[in-house]
Structure 1
Amino acid sequence: MSLSVVILAAGKGTRMKSSLPKVLHTIADKPMVEHVIDAARFLDAENIYLVYGFGGDILKAKVTGDDLTFVEQKEQLGTGHAVDMASPHLKDDENVLVLYGDVPLTRVSTLERLIAAKPDNGMSLLTVTVDNPTGYGRIVRDYGQVVGIVEQKDASQEQLLIQEINSGILYANGADLKRWLSNLSNDNAQGEYYLTDIIAACHAEGKLIETAHPDIAIETEGANDRVQLATLERAFQLREAEHLMIQGASLRDPHRIDIRGKLVIGQEVKIDINCIFEGEVVLADGVKVGANCILKDCTIGEFAEIKPNTIIDGAVIGDQCSVGPFARIRPDSVMNRNSHVGNFVEMKKSTLGEGSKSGHLTYLGDANIGKNVNIGAGTITCNYDGANKSQTIIADEAFIGSNSSLVAPVYVGENATIGAGSVIAKDVEKEQLAVARGKQRNIEGWQRPTKK
């Protein structure tokens, strides 16, 4: 039987104190609702219906996909009313999963457990037992069987003692769900149409209500303010850290890592504190990442070492390379095997050949550098003339002296040497020495300026 997913995303999120719809606030740099959509996609949902209200235009601009159908809830009259907005789209002969756009940490495995729990004649409900159920709808059972849900404001003193609570996430047949929704009443303390009332309706028809449970309670928690959002962020990051450690990574402190995309690791990877991984990052076997590094959309080769406070963005770092500390490797840069850049070296759209090194205080922009080249401290490839970018080519085994400026376009040949402090604006051929300095003058009796 086919699956459709209804995601409730109409809340304004007043307590967020924001102009954004609540579901667009991010966990790991991705809107909460996108985490929920991703889960629906993993389940191979045939249709995904996104019920929106406040900030609909912003939501549609931020969240896209051919498999998404946006359904407007013009008036926020409760969760039952929200799901009912999608009823015209739902088919009788399909099953429907109801999710929440501000509950981003529910695992796919938990949802699969919920789906498997559904009886042929009835529905399944995701519940969780907590120490403090205040504010949540309580699961009411009779001889172990679920017979209904009572909301906090409508609960009796006895019902308030129940610790099994409703997550709101449920799975039911399309025809059943539409029938139950059409009969909802708003005769309650809130004057709203509660989705939870369909549980009692299901029981009244003699149908079964089975429950499934998440591995940890945080899977069912939402974010109504920025404090709760931060709690979910830390829970997400700790879960990602645990996954890395299970795969064999060594983390200096699992509580101080941020993964904001997809991180793929090999064996014997070591990651120090306060590292951020964005986009798609691959760390091969034996990679070491020092403290306070930011790695974005990059590939790091085997046994490479990324030293502390280094930023790598859109680059490829080869096997056994050494980068940093305090280096910045910008997009379209490639460091080949066993090459090295040190502190305060920046590369942009450049290639550093095998065994080549640039130890300190250097800018390499639009440069193609061969094998075993030495780049002295303070070297600059002057790649921009104010209108156009030009390339610097440095052949194998060249030696670039400290504090040199290579004015592109320029070529430095194999085994050539550039004397320290030179400004090179003309090609230097193979094995030549180029020295381009102004004539030194030593002036006797020079008086330094004094402060006026």
Structure 2
Amino acid sequence: MSGRTTLTIVLAAGEGTRMRSSLPKVLHPVAGRPLISHVLAAAPGGKSDALAVVVGPDHQAVIDEIKRSRPEAKTFVQRERLGTAHAVLAAREAIAAGADDILIAFGDTPLIDATTFERMRAALKDGAALAVLGFRAADPTGYGRLLEDNGQLAAIREHADASEAERAVTLCNAGVMAFAGKTALKILDGIGNGNSKGEYYLTDAVAIVRELGLRAVVIETSEDEVRGINTKSQLAEAEQVMQRKLRQAALDAGVTLIAPETVFLAADTTFGKDVTIEPFVVIGPGVAIDDGAVIHSFSNIVGARIGKNASIGPYARLRPGTVLGEGVRIGNFVETKAADLEAGVKVNHLTYIGDTHIGENANIGAGTITCNYDGFDKHRTEIGAGAFVGSNSSLVAPVKIGAGAFIGSGSVITRDVPDDSLAVERSQQTVREGWVKRFREMKMLNRKPKSQK
């Protein structure tokens, strides 16, 4: 928001015990990206924006992901879990540094959208001291209710404490808040722990705001956007919601999805124009697909760049480090890894290409294997432009096949092949005419009839 500074505080100190996993909750992926990284991506990221993340003790893996996703973020440790307001104040140093707007978000809400943060900031610009994100729940049971009075937020009432009339309210607290920076510390420091658990809750901020004669408001969003993830079931539900969003965004961008509900995308997948994706395709993180490419059914793609008018699959697997030039054809049951294939290369069937560079217009026959691993180290294979590798060949790396060279079918190539040369490595074929007839007759003579056994 022009002219205003922002501090976003993301709370990520929870253990996530209900996930029943050794992986910290906020590192579980949705659409190939950790939960917390979705939230960090939505947080304001301009030159005048700061970012703080509150983590638990011994959460180095979480800190590593934060730094990977948003290197400028500062991390703060909440050593005791004494409530949400206590967690926010773990970042007191960042709050005290001063910002016009302070956003409070949660590391387990991956569907939060950047535009929602901007709407909350707009409320602060209009004079509110506090903006609370709310949603209309299909089933509000268990949620805190947002009670309004004359257009202002009057209270957040927990379900257990709500009257019958208040329980009929469907506007619920999503937990996400925005504070005006000039009064944020005064409000947060005013929150006490006079409750049965002796903890400090952000929901009490509404009462402090009203005591100070300031204004609190509600910003509404959809229930899907503020889904919190606490269990594997909720993680699966969030994945479904995210996939629907990603598929719709792809369709809106002009991608042809033959059966959208069968295609799975990553949060960072990018598409050119006139891309077609057939049913039952899985695309993981780090994939870019250029204009006119076709991805056929049952293909799995991760960490790959696919050039213009390329054709992939069916039943192809592209692993990280794959780069395909214009018009490359990858056929059925082909796997590539750390492979750079220039324009026009054809690898049509039953082949493994790993740690390899292939020059333009080369043809790789069915059953070809680049033998890149010697049990200790990986080695590279170089195949020149226009080379032709016959079916069922093994290229034992490190090895270079020259431009225009031919490799005879069934060869095991262990030495470099010069440009425009033919290399054949196989045993000499032996033909013994009539041998099978004589062998069969001998066997029949030596076989006793069953009745004589």
TM-score range, shorter chain: 0.7 to 0.9
Structure 1 SS opposite 2:160: helix
Change (3 A) 1:43 1:276: farther
Q: Please name the residue that 1:226 is paired with.
A: 232
1:413 CA drift (Å): 3.5
Instruction: Give, as a single letter, the amino acid of the residue that structure 1 aligns with 2:401.
Output: I
For the 8 Å contact 1:154–1:189, the answer to whether it is kept is no
How far apart, CA to CA, are the structure 2 residues paired with 1:45 and 1:24?
27
Instruction: Give, as a single letter, the amino acid of the residue that structure 1 aligns with 2:110.
Output: P
- Identity of matched residues, %: 27
**Equivalent residue for 2:364, pick from 350, 354, 358:** 358
Q: Deviations over 1:226-245 (max 9, x none)?
A: 10011111211221111111
Q: Please name the residue that 1:10 is paired with.
A: 13
Is 1:394–2:402 an aligned residue pair?
yes
Q: Please name the residue that 2:86 is paired with.
A: 81
Q: Please name the residue that 1:42 is paired with.
A: 45
Q: Please name the residue that 1:375 is paired with.
A: 389
Change (3 A) 1:81 1:53: same
Q: Please name the residue that 1:276 is paired with.
A: 282
**Equivalent residue for 2:193, pick from 162, 186, 190:** 186
**Equivalent residue for 1:157, pick from 151, 155, 164:** 164
Instruction: Give, as a single letter, the amino acid of the residue that structure 2 aligns with 1:374.
Output: F
Q: Deviations over 1:201-240 (max 9, x none)?
A: 21232222233223x3211111111100111112112211
1:30 CA drift (Å): 2.5
Structure 2 SS opposite 1:308: coil
1:7 CA drift (Å): 1.1
Q: Please name the residue that 1:433 is paired with.
A: none
Structure 1 SS opposite 2:188: helix
Change (3 A) 1:407 1:195: same
Is 1:317–2:324 an aligned residue pair?
yes
Is 1:148–2:155 an aligned residue pair?
yes
How far apart, CA to CA, are the structure 1 residues paired with 2:396 and 2:76?
55
1:143 CA drift (Å): 2.9
Q: Please name the residue that 2:209 is paired with.
A: 202
Q: Please name the residue that 2:223 is paired with.
A: 217
Change (3 A) 1:30 1:369: same
How far apart, CA to CA, are the structure 2 residues paired with 1:362 and 1:39?
45
Q: Please name the residue that 2:131 is paired with.
A: 124
Output the TM-score relative to the length of structure 1.
Answer: 0.86
Output the TM-score relative to the length of structure 2.
Answer: 0.86
1:271 CA drift (Å): 0.8
Instruction: Give, as a single letter, the amino acid of the residue that structure 1 aligns with 2:387.
Output: V
Change (3 A) 1:89 1:285: closer
Is 1:250–2:264 an aligned residue pair?
no
Instruction: Give, as a single letter, the amino acid of the residue that structure 2 aligns with 1:24.
Output: L
1:50 CA drift (Å): 1.6
Structure 2 SS opposite 1:330: strand
Instruction: Give, as a single letter, the amino acid of the residue that structure 2 aligns with 1:271.
Output: I
1:309 CA drift (Å): 1.4
Q: Deviations over 1:242-274 (max 9, x none)?
A: 111111001122223333352221111111233
1:192 CA drift (Å): 2.9
Change (3 A) 1:61 1:352: closer
Q: Please name the residue that 1:238 is paired with.
A: 244
Instruction: Give, as a single letter, the amino acid of the residue that structure 2 aligns with 1:37.
Output: L
How far apart, CA to CA, are the structure 2 residues paired with 1:202 and 1:72?
27
Instruction: Give, as a single letter, the amino acid of the residue that structure 1 aligns with 2:396.
Output: C
1:194 CA drift (Å): 1.7
How far apart, CA to CA, are the structure 1 residues paired with 2:345 and 2:54?
53
1:66 CA drift (Å): 4.3
1:138 CA drift (Å): 0.5
Q: Deviations over 1:292-350 (max 9, x none)?
A: 2122232222211101111123122122221111111220x232322211121111233
Change (3 A) 1:121 1:334: closer
Q: Please name the residue that 1:437 is paired with.
A: 427
Between 133-142 and 277-286, the greater mean CA deviation after superposition: 277-286
Structure 1 SS opposite 2:368: strand
- Structure 1 runs not aligned, ≥5 long: 384-389, 424-435
1:378 CA drift (Å): 0.3
For the 8 Å contact 1:42–1:108, the answer to whether it is kept is no
Q: Please name the residue that 1:72 is paired with.
A: 77
Instruction: Give, as a single letter, the amino acid of the residue that structure 2 aligns with 1:103.
Output: T
How far apart, CA to CA, are the structure 1 residues paired with 2:46 and 2:123?
15
Change (3 A) 1:56 1:370: closer
1:441 CA drift (Å): 6.2
Change (3 A) 1:35 1:121: closer
How far apart, CA to CA, are the structure 1 residues paired with 2:273 and 2:99?
47
* Count of equivalent residues: 423
Instruction: Give, as a single letter, the amino acid of the residue that structure 2 aligns with 1:196.
Output: T
1:87 CA drift (Å): 2.5
Q: Please name the residue that 2:313 is paired with.
A: 307
For the 8 Å contact 1:11–1:54, the answer to whether it is kept is no
1:357 CA drift (Å): 1.7
**Equivalent residue for 2:298, pick from 292, 296, 301:** 292
Structure 2 SS opposite 1:63: helix
Is 1:133–2:159 an aligned residue pair?
no
Change (3 A) 1:122 1:54: same
Structure 1 SS opposite 2:183: helix
Change (3 A) 1:140 1:45: farther
How far apart, CA to CA, are the structure 1 residues paired with 2:365 and 2:276?
23
Instruction: Give, as a single letter, the amino acid of the residue that structure 2 aligns with 1:181.
Output: L
Change (3 A) 1:325 1:60: same
**Equivalent residue for 1:90, pick from 85, 95, 106:** 95
Structure 1 SS opposite 2:199: coil
Q: Deviations over 1:392-419 (max 9, x none)?
A: 22332x43332112122x21431x444x
How far apart, CA to CA, are the structure 1 residues paired with 2:337 and 2:161?
58
Change (3 A) 1:190 1:251: farther
For the 8 Å contact 1:180–1:201, the answer to whether it is kept is yes
For the 8 Å contact 2:272–2:292, the answer to whether it is kept is yes
**Equivalent residue for 1:51, pick from 50, 54, 57:** 54
**Equivalent residue for 1:266, pick from 269, 272, 279:** 272
Change (3 A) 1:337 1:47: closer
How far apart, CA to CA, are the structure 1 residues paired with 2:180 and 2:151?
23
For the 8 Å contact 1:21–1:54, the answer to whether it is kept is no
Change (3 A) 1:184 1:362: same
